[in-house]
């Protein structure tokens, strides 16, 4: 069996464009747009269905989306938007009988189709139909998250909140924002990670929208599904606690949308699982009740700096370009992507941190000293990271025991710094929900506290704070 992500060539080569502004009750507002500006994206799913591949898309209706006038790849007149009527997604989930040529999942909001081919004949037929207009991106390059770095973690703490006071120092502006009633209300925060323990005291008081993305999300046998949030690893729960925990979170009143896309045992994921998780997030964000709400997405995952052994360099580059196209789709949809820079130290930059569309985050301690593990470097003419966040011995939720006893731990890593900055972004988006994702990014960079120059590390604009 071979797996590919099919992405329109025009989509993967394009640059992100801010969506079209409209007005509601005299207020400036940004309606969410989608990748269906690349109207040819759906042709891959149609061709695969005709070739005998079975749809693995869950039954339901496509969300209402918009596309430029004439449906010509975003080349219509600026500001001219046409609504696309909701149409049924082709085919419910069905069990394979062994005679199918393969299976596929169409993901309209990121403008891609994930396909499994069960034979070389089926793959050749699909390439014959689609290779002129679509990149066939092999899903063979492993992604992983920059796991927590060993630090002075001390013993686990038990109880509802454990610490007498929140740790966020006054200089970061979080206490000030909370005193002003700016706590993230109205903002949607998406997290792609190992999951979340929705019953941990940091998260139990709110409804957490959760999706488990299976190992083979485009297989009819193991469809992605919405269930009560769980997290066998604890990493995602820690990340969510930093950004949105009710006792210790930077933005405790955000609405959480968590997709589990990383296995707890291997801390690995795939392009297909990340694509499925991102598609789900955009589907949630694009619902009619959410279409104009501000959103932020936190990601602590990525491709390695160099092409892994055994992976052809062209395949690796195609995977990078596909991931970059998906990050662009977030910006297209007025969602700010916040990503961990990595934990491999100076002169190392992985991806998506290396993409200009992402807000890449490095780590400092509470004394503003750059963490030795914080990744940094230069990609083209762009220095990475863009900005720093607190990422050394950060206190947050982790897991519960069978008797329901909850634990909190200190962890270190850019995976901890990224949700801190995602929380700062949520505070800004809460205060000014009409700002675009790019404007919020610019605001974070403009308000950053400058750090002492480091001989080893790049620190971007400095420490992200709320002002």
Q: Is the pLDDT of residue 59 over 50?
A: no
- For 47, residues 6+ apart whose C-beta sits below 8 A from its C-beta are 126, 129, 130
- Domain extent, residue 287, equals 144-447
Q: How far is residue 437's CA from residue 445's CA, in Å, rounded to a whole number?
A: 13
Q: What are phi and psi of 356, to 5 degrees?
A: -65, -20
Contact 124, 240 (CB under 8 A): no
Query: Are 122 and 159 contained in the same domain?
Result: no
- Structural domain includes residue 14: yes
Report the mean per-residue pLDDT for the chain. Answer: 82
CB atoms within 10 A of CB 215: 12
Number of domains in the chain: 2
Residues 262-278: what's their mean pLDDT? 79
Q: Is the pLDDT of residue 421 over 70?
A: yes
- Structural domain includes residue 350: yes
Query: Are 154 and 114 contained in the same domain?
Result: no
Domain of residue 431, CATH code: 3.40.50.200
Confidence bin at 336 (pLDDT 50/70/90): very high
Query: Are 111 and 213 contained in the same domain?
Result: no
Pick the range with the lowest mean pLDDT from 263-267, 339-343, 415-419.
263-267
Query: Are 128 and 172 contained in the same domain?
Result: no
Rg, Å, the chain Cα set: 21
In the annotation, is 415 catalytic? yes
* Residue 329: per-residue pLDDT: 87
Closest-CA residue to 188 (of 168, 213, 208, 204):
208
* Residue 98: per-residue pLDDT: 53
Confidence bin at 265 (pLDDT 50/70/90): low
Question: Which of the residues 178, 260, 415, 457 is marked catalytic?
Answer: 415
Query: Are 155 and 136 contained in the same domain?
Result: no
In the annotation, is 235 catalytic? yes
Strand (E) or helix (H) holding 387:
strand 387-390
Query: Are 191 and 100 contained in the same domain?
Result: no
* Residue 305: per-residue pLDDT: 75
- Structural domain includes residue 462: no
- Structural domain includes residue 452: no
Peptide bond into 198 cis (omega under 30): no
Query: Are 151 and 58 contained in the same domain?
Result: no
* Residue 302: per-residue pLDDT: 80
Q: What is the largest CA-CA distance in the chain?
A: 65
Question: Which of the residues 200, 235, 248, 283 is marked catalytic?
Answer: 235
Residues 366-380: what's their mean pLDDT? 92
Peptide bond into 369 cis (omega under 30): no
Residues 43-58: what's their mean pLDDT? 86
* Residue 31: per-residue pLDDT: 53
Each residue's pLDDT tens digit, 283-324: 999 888 998 899 999 998 888 778 888 889 999 888 888 899
Q: Which of 250-259, 317-326, 450-459 has the highest mean pLDDT?
A: 250-259
Q: Is the pLDDT of residue 331 over 60?
A: yes
Query: Are 171 and 80 contained in the same domain?
Result: no
Query: Are 121 and 233 contained in the same domain?
Result: no
Question: Which of the residues 139, 193, 255, 332 is marked catalytic?
Answer: 193
* Residue 23: per-residue pLDDT: 35
In the annotation, is 116 catalytic? no
| Between 171 and 118, residue with greater pLDDT | 171
Query: Are 127 and 263 contained in the same domain?
Result: no
CB atoms within 10 A of CB 87: 10
């Amino acid at each position: 069996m071979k797996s590919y992500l099919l992405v329109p060539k025009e989509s993967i080569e394009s640059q992100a464009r801010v969506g079209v502004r409209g007005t509601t009750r005299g207020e400036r507002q940004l309606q969410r747009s989608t990748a269906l500006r690349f109207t040819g994206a759906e042709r891959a799913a149609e061709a695969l269905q005709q070739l005998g591949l079975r749809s693995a898309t869950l039954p339901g209706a496509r969300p209402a989306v918009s596309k430029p006038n004439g449906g010509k790849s975003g080349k219509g007149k600026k500001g001219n938007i046409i609504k696309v009527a909701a149409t049924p997604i082709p085919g419910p989930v069905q069990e394979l009988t062994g005679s199918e040529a393969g299976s596929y999942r169409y993901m309209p909001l990121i403008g891609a189709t994930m396909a499994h081919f069960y034979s070389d004949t089926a793959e050749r037929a699909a390439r014959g139909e689609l290779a002129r207009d679509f990149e066939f991106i092999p899903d063979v390059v492993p992604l992983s998250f920059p796991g927590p770095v060993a630090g002075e973690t001390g013993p686990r703490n038990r109880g509802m909140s454990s610490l007498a006071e929140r740790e966020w120092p006054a200089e970061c502006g979080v206490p000030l924002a909370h005193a002003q009633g700016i706590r993230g209300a109205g903002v949607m925060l998406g997290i792609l990670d190992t999951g979340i323990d929705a019953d941990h005291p940091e998260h139990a008081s709110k409804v957490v929208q959760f999706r488990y993305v299976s190992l083979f999300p485009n297989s009819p046998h193991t469809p992605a599904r919405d269930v009560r949030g769980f997290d066998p690893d604890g990493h995602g729960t820690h990340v969510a606690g930093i950004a949105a925990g009710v006792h210790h979170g930077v933005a405790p009143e955000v609405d959480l949308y968590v997709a589990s896309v990383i296995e707890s045992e291997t801390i690995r994921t795939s392009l297909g699982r990340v694509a499925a998780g991102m598609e789900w997030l955009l589907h949630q964000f694009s619902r009619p009740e959410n279409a104009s709400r501000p959103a932020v997405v936190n990601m602590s995952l990525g491709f390695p700096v160099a092409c892994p052994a055994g992976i052809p360099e062209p395949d690796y580059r195609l995977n990078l370009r596909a991931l970059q196209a998906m990050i662009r789709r977030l910006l297209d949809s007025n969602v700010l992507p916040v990503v961990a820079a990595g934990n491999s130290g100076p002169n190392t930059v992985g991806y998506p941190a290396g993409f200009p569309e992402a807000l890449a985050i490095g780590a400092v301690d509470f004394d503003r000293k750059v963490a030795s593990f914080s990744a940094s470097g230069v990609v083209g003419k762009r220095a990475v990271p863009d900005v720093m966040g607190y990422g050394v011995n950060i206190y947050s939720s982790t897991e519960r025991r069978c008797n329901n006893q909850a634990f909190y731990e200190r962890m270190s890593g850019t995976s901890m710094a990224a949700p801190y900055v995602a929380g700062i972004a949520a505070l800004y988006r809460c205060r000014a929900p009409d700002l675009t994702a790019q404007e919020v990014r610019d605001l974070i960079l403009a308000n950053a506290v400058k750090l002492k120059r480091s001989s080893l590390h790049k620190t971007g604009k400095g420490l992200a704070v709320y002002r």
